[in-house]
C-alpha cells in the first residue's frame, strides 16, 4: 500500500514539474520525504526544486542531510560532491569549507584541500581573526610537510606575533624535513636560527651536532656538545650524543670514557657499549671489543638479558675462535647464570684455545676447573699431563688466577659457587636478579642463598663443585649445623664414588649427570640456535701445528670439534650500525615530525650553550622577519599585518603551479558529480583525470574520460565541445569494436544536437550497418531522415 501511494505521489510530482507548477511538486515530494527519509534521491530532487523557487536555506538543509548521510556511510566522494553543491549555494560558509577540506585530505587531494583552507583563511583575515587564520595556515603546512618554505614563512609570522614557541616548532619541523631531504647546509641554517630564537633548544643542538658529523666536521660537533655539557654536566642525552660523535670521528678512547661514565649515570644506556664494541670489532681490535662487555654484564644479568652479551662475544669468536678474553667472559656469564653445560663446553674450549695461544697457565686453570666439575673424566687429567703439569704443579697454581688476569687490569670475579675460584669469599651471584655483592644481604640471607646453591649442584650431580662450596662455607661458618651435616653426607658420597672409580682409570667418559659420553652428543650454547651437528670437520693446518707442538694429544678433543662445527653452522650476519643513530631521533617539540619522536625531550629546562654557533648575519636573508611597521595601505585598512597577506598571496600563486596526477580519485569524483548532475564540476574532474593518462592507455581510461566528457557537454547543450572529446575517443588506438561503436553512436547524437544532420545520419548509419539492434539506432535514423526531408521541403 505504501509503495502504491509513493508511486502515485511521484507521478503527480513529475507531472507538476512538467507543467511548471513547482510549488505543488514540492508539496508532493515533501510528503514522500516525510514518509521515507532514506530516499536520498527524492531528498535531492526536493532540494533542487527549493533552489529553483529561491528557498535556498531549505535546499541547503536537504543537501546537508544527504552529505552527512554519505559521509557517515563512508561514501566520501559522494559526500564531497554534495558539500560542493552546498558551497555553490553558500560560498562563504566556513563550516562547509572546512568539511570539504577534511574530506579532500582523506582522499589525498591536497590541492583541493588547500584551496578550501585558503578560502577559510581569507575569510578570517577579512574579519580580523588573525589567530584563527594562523591555525588554518598551520593545517595547510601540515598537508605538505615537504614544503619547507611554508614552515619558514609561518615561523616568520609567529615571530611577528611574538609567539616564539610556535616559531621554534615550525623551524624544527622545517629543519627536520630539510635534513631528511639531504639539504644539510640549509637545515643547519634553520637550526642555528632556532637556537637564536629559543636558546634552550635541545633538539636544535642535537640536530646541529648530527649535521656537523655528517658533513665531515665532527670536531665542531664535539666542541658544541662539550660546551653544552660544561653548562649542563651529567646530561645523559648530551653524553649519549657526544659518545656517538666520538665513535663517528673514530676517537675511540674518548668514546669509551664518555660512554662508561654515561652507564654509571644511567645503567639503561648500556646499549651504547654494544655500539662501541661493534666499532672496535670492525677495526679488528678484538680485545677492546670484549672489554666493553665488562661495563654491562652485571646489568644484563640483573635484567635477564645476558644472551645479548653472549651473542656479542660469539661474534668476536667468529673472528678469532681462540680469543681467550672472550672465552673468559663467557665463562664468567655461564657461571653466574648456572649454565653448567655451556660452562663445561666453554672451559674445554678455553683450555684448547689458551694452549694454542701459548698461555699455558690459563689452559691449566681451565682444565683444573673441568676436573672439579667432572672429576671422573680422565681426559682432563691426560691433557694436563700433555701440558707438562705434574700433580705438584697442579697444586702450585691457584684455580682461576690465570683466567682473571687474562681479562684485564680490573677483572670481573670468575666464580663457580658464589665464591671466587681463587679461594676468597665473593658475592653470591646465582640469584637471577642479583646485582650487588654479599654486602647488600644480611648474613642469614647470604648463607641461605649459598646453601641453596650447594643443594642445586648436589641435585645436578656436580659433587666436586658442591664440596668446594661447602668447604668455603665451613671456614666462614665453622659450627653451622646445616653446613657440617652436608659436608658429612657429601664426604661419604665422594668416598663411595672413589671406590667405584678406582677400578679403572680408562672408564668410559662420563658427563656431570653420570651419563655415558658419546661422540654423537652435542653442546648447546646460550644464545646459539639449535643446530644438529654431524661431527667435527677435518683438522686444519693450524690445528696440526698445535698438535705437533706438544700442547695437545695427537687427536683434538672431540668436544672442541663439536664447538667448531656448531659455530660453522650458525649463519653469519653483518649489521652495519648507524654510528650516530640520530637521523631518526632528533625530534621537534611539537611531535608532528614522525622521524623525530624518538628523542622528544622532557621538560628539564633549557640547555645553555656558550658562544659556539657561527654568526647568523650571513644567513639573515634566509629567514627574514618583517618589521612591524611594514604595512601596505590595504593591510592597514583591515588592521592586518602585511606579512599575513604576503603569505596568503604566496599560497594562492603556488596553487596555480600544482598538478595532480591521481587518476582514480579524480575520475571517481567526476562520476559522483555527474550522478548529481553537477556537470561543470564533473567536467573539471574528468579533464584533470585525463591528464594522467595517454590515448594508448592499455586500460582504456583515456577513452572513458573522452566518453564521459562528451556526455557532460551534451547535457549542458554544448554539442561542439562534446564532438571534440568524442572524436578524441574514436582516435584512441587498440580499443575494442564495442567501445568504438558506443562512441560513434554518441558522436552521431552530438552532431544531431549541433544541427549537422548529414554527419549524424552518416555515423548512425555506420552503427546500424554493424548492429541493427544497437540501442535505438533504427528509430534515430528514421527521425533524422524525416527531419532532413522536412528541411528539403522547407528549402
Task: Give the residue among 709, 593, 668, 699 at the shortest CA–CA distance from 107.
Answer: 668
| 724, pLDDT greater than 90 | yes
Q: How many other CB atoms are found less than 10 A from the CB of residue 622?
A: 13
Whether the CB-CB separation of 207 and 179 falls below 8 Å is answered with yes
d(CA 395, CA 725): 103
- pLDDT score at 375: 76
Using DSSP's 3-state secondary structure scheme, residue 215 falls into coil
Q: Looking at the DSSP assignment, which residues form a beta bridge with residue 510?
A: 516
Query: How confident is the model over 265-300, as pLDDT tens digits?
Result: 998 888 989 989 999 999 999 999 999 999 889 999
d(CA 384, CA 367): 7
Domain boundaries, the chain: 1-54, 282-569, 693-794
Whether the CB-CB separation of 528 and 503 falls below 8 Å is answered with no
Lowest mean pLDDT among 173-177, 273-277, 478-482, 535-539: 535-539
d(CA 218, CA 656): 43
Which of the four pLDDT bands, split at 50, 70 and 90, describes residue 457? low
| 659's grid cell | 598538478
- pLDDT score at 499: 56
The CATH number fitting domain 693-794, selected from 1.25.40.10, 2.40.50.100, 3.30.2350.10, 3.40.50.360? 1.25.40.10
Interacting residues of 585 by C-beta distance below 8 A, sequence separation 6+: 206, 595, 596, 598, 599
d(CA 296, CA 273): 8
Q: What is the mean pLDDT of residues 81-108?
A: 91
Lowest mean pLDDT among 111-125, 146-160, 456-470: 456-470
- pLDDT score at 234: 84
- pLDDT score at 48: 92
pLDDT above 70 as % of the chain: 69
d(CA 750, CA 740): 15
- More confident call, 417 vs 56: 56
Taking phi over 0 as left and psi of -120 to 50 as alpha, with beta for the rest, 304 belongs to: left
Which of the four pLDDT bands, split at 50, 70 and 90, describes residue 643? low
d(CA 695, CA 706): 10
Task: Give the residue among 375, 365, 418 at the shortest CA–CA distance from 395.
Answer: 365
Which of the four pLDDT bands, split at 50, 70 and 90, describes residue 607? very low
Q: How many other CB atoms are found less than 10 A from the CB of residue 678?
A: 20
Taking phi over 0 as left and psi of -120 to 50 as alpha, with beta for the rest, 400 belongs to: left
Query: How confident is the model over 512-555, as pLDDT tens digits?
Result: 333 333 333 333 333 333 333 344 444 444 444 333 433 334 33
Query: How confident is the model over 425-445, as pLDDT tens digits?
Result: 333 323 333 333 333 445 665
Task: Give the residue among 163, 158, 141, 160 at the shortest CA–CA distance from 150.
Answer: 141
Query: How confident is the model over 182-224, as pLDDT tens digits?
Result: 999 999 999 988 888 887 678 888 888 888 888 888 888 888 8
How many residues can be counted in the chain?
795
Whether the CB-CB separation of 739 and 695 falls below 8 Å is answered with no
d(CA 214, CA 185): 11
d(CA 720, CA 723): 5
Pure H helices in 232-285: 236-248, 252-265, 271-283
- pLDDT score at 319: 93
Phi/psi of residue 393, nearest 5 degrees: -65, -35
Average pLDDT, the chain: 75
CA atoms within 13 A on the CB side of 451: 17
d(CA 490, CA 121): 89
| 503, pLDDT greater than 60 | no
- More confident call, 779 vs 528: 779
Whether the CB-CB separation of 348 and 560 falls below 8 Å is answered with yes
Q: Please give the full DSSP string across 272-323, using - where no structure is assigned.
A: HHHHHHHHHHHHT-HHHHHHGGGGTHHHHHHTT-HHHHHHHHHHHHHH-TT-
Task: Give the residue among 736, 733, 769 at the shortest CA–CA distance from 748.
Answer: 769
Amino acid at each position: 500500500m505504501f509503495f502504491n501511494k509513493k508511486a502515485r505521489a511521484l507521478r503527480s510530482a513529475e507531472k507538476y514539474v512538467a507543467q511548471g507548477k513547482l510549488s505543488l511538486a514540492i508539496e508532493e515530494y515533501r510528503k514522500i520525504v516525510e514518509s521515507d527519509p532514506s530516499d536520498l534521491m527524492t531528498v535531492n530532487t526536493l532540494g533542487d526544486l527549493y533552489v529553483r523557487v529561491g528557498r535556498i536555506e531549505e535546499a541547503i538543509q536537504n543537501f546537508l542531510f544527504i552529505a552527512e548521510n554519505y559521509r557517515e556511510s563512508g561514501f566520501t566522494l559522494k559526500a564531497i560532491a554534495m558539500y560542493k553543491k552546498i558551497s555553490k549555494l553558500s560560498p562563504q560558509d566556513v563550516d562547509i569549507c572546512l568539511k570539504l577540506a577534511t574530506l579532500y585530505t582523506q582522499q589525498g587531494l591536497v590541492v583541493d584541500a588547500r584551496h578550501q583552507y585558503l578560502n577559510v583563511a581569507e575569510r578570517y583575515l577579512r574579519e580580523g581573526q588573525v589567530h584563527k587564520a594562523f591555525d588554518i595556515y598551520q593545517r595547510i603546512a601540515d598537508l605538505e610537510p615537504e614544503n619547507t618554505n611554508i614552515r619558514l614563512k609561518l615561523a616568520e609570522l609567529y615571530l611577528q606575533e611574538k609567539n616564539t614557541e610556535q616559531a621554534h616548532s615550525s623551524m624544527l619541523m622545517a629543519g627536520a624535513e630539510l635534513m631528511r631531504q639531504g639539504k644539510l647546509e640549509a637545515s643547519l641554517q634553520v637550526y642555528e636560527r632556532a637556537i637564536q630564537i629559543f636558546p634552550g633548544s635541545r633538539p636544535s643542538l642535537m640536530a646541529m651536532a648530527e649535521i656537523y658529523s655528517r658533513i665531515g666536521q665532527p670536531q665542531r660537533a664535539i666542541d658544541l656538545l662539550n660546551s653544552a655539557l660544561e653548562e649542563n654536566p651529567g646530561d645523559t642525552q648530551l653524553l649519549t650524543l657526544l659518545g656517538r660523535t666520538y665513535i663517528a670521528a673514530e676517537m675511540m678512547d674518548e668514546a669509551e670514557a664518555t660512554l662508561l661514565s654515561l652507564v654509571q649515570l644511567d645503567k639503561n644506556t648500556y646499549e651504547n657499549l654494544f655500539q662501541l664494541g661493534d666499532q672496535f670489532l670492525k677495526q679488528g681490535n678484538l680485545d677492546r671489543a670484549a672489554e666493553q662487555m665488562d661495563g654491562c654484564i652485571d646489568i644484563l644479568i640483573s635484567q635477564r638479558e645476558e644472551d645479548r652479551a653472549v651473542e656479542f662475544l660469539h661474534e668476536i669468536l667468529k673472528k678469532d675462535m681462540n680469543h681467550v678474553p672472550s672465552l673468559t667472559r663467557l665463562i664468567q656469564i655461564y657461571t653466574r647464570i648456572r649454565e653448567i653445560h655451556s660452562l663445561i663446553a666453554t672451559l674445554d674450549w678455553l683450555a684448547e684455545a689458551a694452549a694454542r695461544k701459548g698461555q699455558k697457565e690459563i689452559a691449566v686453570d681451565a682444565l683444573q676447573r673441568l676436573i672439579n666439575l667432572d672429576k671422573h673424566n680422565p681426559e682432563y687429567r691426560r691433557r694436563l699431563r700433555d701440558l707438562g703439569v705434574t700433580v705438584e704443579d697442579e697444586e702450585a697454581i691457584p684455580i682461576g688466577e690465570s683466567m682473571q688476569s687474562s681479562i684485564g687490569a680490573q677483572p670481573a670475579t670468575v666464580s663457580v659457587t658464589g665464591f671466587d675460584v681463587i679461594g676468597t669469599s665473593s658475592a653470591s651471584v646465582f640469584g637471577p636478579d642479583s646485582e650487588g655483592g654479599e654486602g647488600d644481604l644480611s648474613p642469614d640471607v647470604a648463607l641461605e642463598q649459598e646453601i641453596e646453591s650447594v643443594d642445586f649442584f648436589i641435585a645436578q650431580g656436580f659433587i666436586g663443585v658442591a664440596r668446594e662450596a661447602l668447604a668455603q662455607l665451613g671456614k666462614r661458618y665453622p659450627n653451622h649445623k646445616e653446613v657440617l651435616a652436608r659436608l658429612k653426607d657429601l664426604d661419604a658420597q665422594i668416598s663411595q664414588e672413589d671406590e667405584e672409580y678406582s677400578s679403572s682409570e680408562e672408564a668410559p667418559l662420563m658427563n656431570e649427570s653420570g651419563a655415558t659420553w658419546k661422540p654423537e652428543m652435542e653442546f648447546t650454547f646460550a644464545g646459539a640456535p639449535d643446530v644438529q651437528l654431524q661431527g667435527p670437520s677435518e683438522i686444519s693446518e693450524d690445528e696440526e701445528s698445535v698438535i705437533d707442538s706438544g700442547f695437545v694429544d695427537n687427536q683434538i678433543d672431540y668436544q672442541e670439534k663439536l664447538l667448531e662445527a656448531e659455530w660453522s653452522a650458525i649463519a653469519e650476519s653483518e649489521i652495519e650500525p648507524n654510528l650516530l643513530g640520530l637521523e631518526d631521533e632528533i625530534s621537534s617539540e611539537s611531535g608532528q615530525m614522525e622521524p623525530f619522536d624518538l628523542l622528544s625531550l622532557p621538560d628539564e629546562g633549557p640547555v645553555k650553550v656558550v658562544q659556539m654557533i657561527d654568526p647568523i648575519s650571513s644567513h639573515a636573508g634566509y629567514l627574514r622577519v618583517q618589521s612591524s611597521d611594514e604595512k601596505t595601505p590595504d593591510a592597514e585598512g583591515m588592521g592586518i599585518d602585511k606579512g599575513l597577506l604576503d603569505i596568503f598571496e604566496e599560497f594562492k600563486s603556488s596553487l596555480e603551479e600544482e598538478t595532480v596526477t591521481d587518476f582514480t580519485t579524480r575520475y571517481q569524483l567526476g562520476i559522483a558529480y555527474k550522478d548529481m548532475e553537477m556537470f561543470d564540476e564533473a567536467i573539471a574532474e574528468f579533464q584533470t583525470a585525463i591528464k594522467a593518462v595517454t590515448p594508448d592507455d592499455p586500460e582504456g581510461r583515456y577513452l572513458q574520460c573522452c566518453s564521459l566528457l562528451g556526455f557532460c557537454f551534451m547535457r549542458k547543450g554544448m554539442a561542439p565541445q562534446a564532438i571534440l572529446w568524442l572524436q578524441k575517443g574514436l582516435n584512441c588506438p587498440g580499443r575494442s569494436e564495442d567501445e568504438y561503436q558506443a562512441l560513434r553512436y554518441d558522436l552521431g547524437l552530438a552532431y544531431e544536437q549541433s544541427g549537422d544532420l548529414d554527419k549524424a545520419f552518416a555515423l548512425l548509419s555506420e552503427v546500424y550497418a554493424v548492429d541493427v539492434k544497437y540501442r535505438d539506432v533504427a528509430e534515430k535514423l528514421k527521425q533524422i531522415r524525416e527531419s532532413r526531408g522536412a528541411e528539403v521541403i522547407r528549402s
